[in-house]
Structure 1
Amino acid sequence: MNDVAKIARRKLSDEVFDRLYAMLLNGDYAPGDHLPSERELMETFGVGRPAIREGMQALERHGMVTIQHGQRPKVTMPTADGLLSQIELTAMHMLSSSSESLEHFKEARAFFEMGMVGRAARMADDEAIAILEAHLETQRQALNRDAGAFIKADMSFHTAIAGMTGNPIFSAVSQAMLNWLANFHTAMLHWAGNEHVTLDEHERILAALRERDEVTAVAEMRAHLDRARSLYSLT
């Protein structure tokens, strides 16, 4: 029994965080509203200034409030980008530490990209097609000249397809997945020495989107990702 770890006492700042978090979830303060002052919160919760400040800083780290000197904290508008940025380090750790996690990620990305390009084909308009054409041309200009610009244009091509769906969560997830891949292993996005194959595959995806051909767009995206996913692993 002597080896059993003692239960640690919770910090007051953790209690402050929990109380404030519950207030935000309950809708007591909406995005754009200012929270009470430090003094008001000290009196409400019966704690000192350090606990209030630490609790508030924890809210800021989670993207729930913004804190500016001399002003009361302001409740932020939650976004999909903000949510995904919170899990970036965990995602990177997961991808780098487990081959099984990497395989799950590749499967999830393929499932997501194929569903997304199908929706994009149904919703495509001339302006969106023109944006894709511009990204593809940028990628073509970078061929055999600038690997960094080539990869950036590649990512932009895929995120532009996400944007065509009209769903900001799709756009945020697409950008996050590509960032994780780029930071984890550049080879996942760049098939060095065979960039022309990527360009050809992108052109076929674009051609299907021009025709608003959902079936072909999905088939071309599947072929593109099947080829790409066979190239990378943890080795």
Structure 2
Amino acid sequence: MTQIQKKTLAQEVAERLTEGILNETYSIGDQLPTEPELMKVYGVGRSSIREAIKILSIKGVLSVQQGVGTFVVSKNVQESLEIQMSNAEIEEVEEVRSLLESKVAAKAALNHTEAQLKTIKEYLDLRNKFAEENMALECYQADINFHLSIAEACGNKLLKEIYKIASRQVLRVFESSHKNNTEAFRISQKLHAELYEYIRNRDADNAALIAEKIIHKLL
């Protein structure tokens, strides 16, 4: 089954360090705090700190001088799309997902495999189960995974990856908009079932139309 991929602790630390460099908490030429100090600052173990430093060293942002320390050598680091998305306003995340949804659904209708269709149906059923039981977080996650499994089936790797990044931020949108309630998800289950049927029947035009309806009802 498709799952939202979680960032590692090292990736989280690398992003936090990157933010510090971009906002000049650490300037070019500055020596980073020692590993034990960084462990305290970020609340992670030594291996995560070392991996984060390795990530930024490969990017040419940090330089590790054995026996001396780790220094900031460049600010020429572009924020990843994922960092930008995580820092975006909820309305911006909603807009990105809205723009992607119909295209992803249409391509999934044309390109899905039977195995992918089975996964989509499994998440559709889980979404319904959790919505009926008012298990909010589980319902929100099942909904996200339903749409992610459609993205997996779309056949466009780049489109799928962009959609995945947007979807990682959707949970905070749901938590903010729906306040631990599943009523809107119960109401929209019929539309989701229709979307599944259009994808199953390889009806790209109607899949796109229903996907657009869904996104405007739930966001």
**Which range, TM-score by smaller chain?**
0.5 to 0.7
Kindly report which structure 2 residues correspond to 1:209-224, keeping only aligned pairs within 5 A, or say none. 209-224=199-214
Query: Structure 2: which 5+ residue stretches go unaligned?
Result: 1-26, 33-54
Match in the other structure for 2:188: 198
For the pair shown, which has the larger CA radius of gyration, 1 or 2? 1
SS in 2 for 1:166: coil
Q: Residues 78-127 of structure 1, C-alpha deviation per residue, up to 9 Å, x if partnerless?
A: xxxx9444335422xx33xxxxxx1x543332111111111111101211
Change (3 A) 1:198 1:218: same
In the TM superposition, what whole-angstrom CA distance separates every residue of 1:130-167 from its partner, at most 9, and x where no partner exists?
11011111122223322221111100001001111234
1:130 aligns with 2:149: no
Report what 1:181 is aligned to: 170
Q: Structure 2: how far apart are the matches of 1:201 and 1:219?
A: 11
Letter of the 1:124 counterpart: H
* 2:29 aligned with 1:11: yes
1:130–1:18 CA distance, 2 compared to 1 (3 A): closer
Aligned pairs (5 A) from 1:97-176? 102=91, 104-145=92-133, 146-176=135-165
Mean alpha-carbon deviation: is it higher for 188-197 or for 200-209?
A: 188-197
User: Which residue of structure 1 lines up, in the alignment, with residue 68 of structure 2?
Assistant: 49
Q: How far 1:188 moved relative to its partner?
A: 4.0
| Contact 2:86–2:169 (CA under 8 A) maintained in structure 1 | no
Letter of the structure 2 residue corresponding to residue 174 of structure 1:
Y
Conserved in 1, the CA contact under 8 Å of 2:120 and 2:150?
yes
Counterpart Cα distance in 2 of 1:21 and 1:179: 24
| Percent of paired sites with the same residue | 14
Count of paired positions:
166
Distance 2:174 2:128 in 1: 22
Structure 1 counterpart of 2:169, one-letter code:
W
Q: Compute the displacement of 1:213 (Å).
A: 0.5
Of the structure 1 ranges 104-113 and 203-212, higher mean CA displacement relative to structure 2 is found in 104-113
Which structure's relative contact order is higher, taking Cα pairs within 8 Å and 6+ residues apart?
2
Distance 1:19 1:211 in 2: 49
TM-score computed with the length of structure 2 as normaliser:
0.61
Over 3 Å counting, the alpha-carbon distance change for 1:86 and 1:218 in structure 2 is same
